[in-house]
Amino acid sequence: MKATPLDIKDIIVFEPNIFGDDRGFFFESFNQKFFEEVVGRPVQFVQDNHSRSVKGVLRGLHYQIQQSQGKLVRVTQGEVFDVAVDLRKSSTTFGKWVGVHLSAENKKQLWIPEGFAHGFVVLSESAEFLYKTTDYWTPEHERSLAWDDATVAINWPLAEPTALSAKDKKAVNFENAEVFA
Q: What is the pLDDT of residues 93-132, one digit of tens each?
A: 999 999 999 999 999 999 999 999 999 999 999 999 999 9
Among residues 62, 63, 118, 136, the one annotated as catalytic is 62
For residue 161, pLDDT over 80 is answered with no
Is 118 annotated in the active site? no
pLDDT value at residue 4: 97
pLDDT value at residue 65: 97
Q: What is the pLDDT of residues 11-26, one digit of tens each?
A: 999 999 999 999 999 9
Q: Using only C-alpha atoms, what is the Rg of the chain?
A: 16
List the Cα angle 50/51/56 in 5-degree steps: 150
pLDDT value at residue 156: 96
Q: What is the mean pLDDT of the chain?
A: 96
* Mean pLDDT of all residues in 55-84: 97
The single-letter DSSP state of residue 177 is -
User: Strand 79-86 relative to strand 116-122: parallel, antiparallel, unpaired?
Assistant: antiparallel
Among residues 101, 118, 131, 136, the one annotated as catalytic is 131
Residue 91: alpha-carbon gap to chain centroid: 18
Q: Mind giving me the DSSP string for 110-150?
A: EEE-TTEEEEEEE-SSEEEEEEEESS---GGGEEEB-TT-T
Residue 72: burial class (beta carbons within 10 Å; 0-12, 13-18, 19+):
buried
Q: How confident is the model at residue 31 (pLDDT cuts 50, 70, 90)?
A: very high
* Percent with pLDDT over 70 in the chain: 100
Distance (Å, whole) CA 124 – CA 56: 8
Q: What is the pLDDT of residues 85-104, one digit of tens each?
A: 999 999 999 999 999 999 99
Q: Is the pTM of this model over 0.85?
A: yes
Enumerate the domain spans of the chain: 2-176
* Percent with pLDDT over 90 in the chain: 96
pLDDT value at residue 15: 97
**Amino acid, res. 14:** F
**Amino acid, res. 86:** D
Is 62 annotated in the active site? yes
Q: How confident is the model at residue 175 (pLDDT cuts 50, 70, 90)?
A: very high
What CATH number was assigned to the domain covering residues 2-176? Answer: 2.60.120.10
Distances (CA, A) of 82 to 5, 61, 72, 175: 15, 10, 12, 22
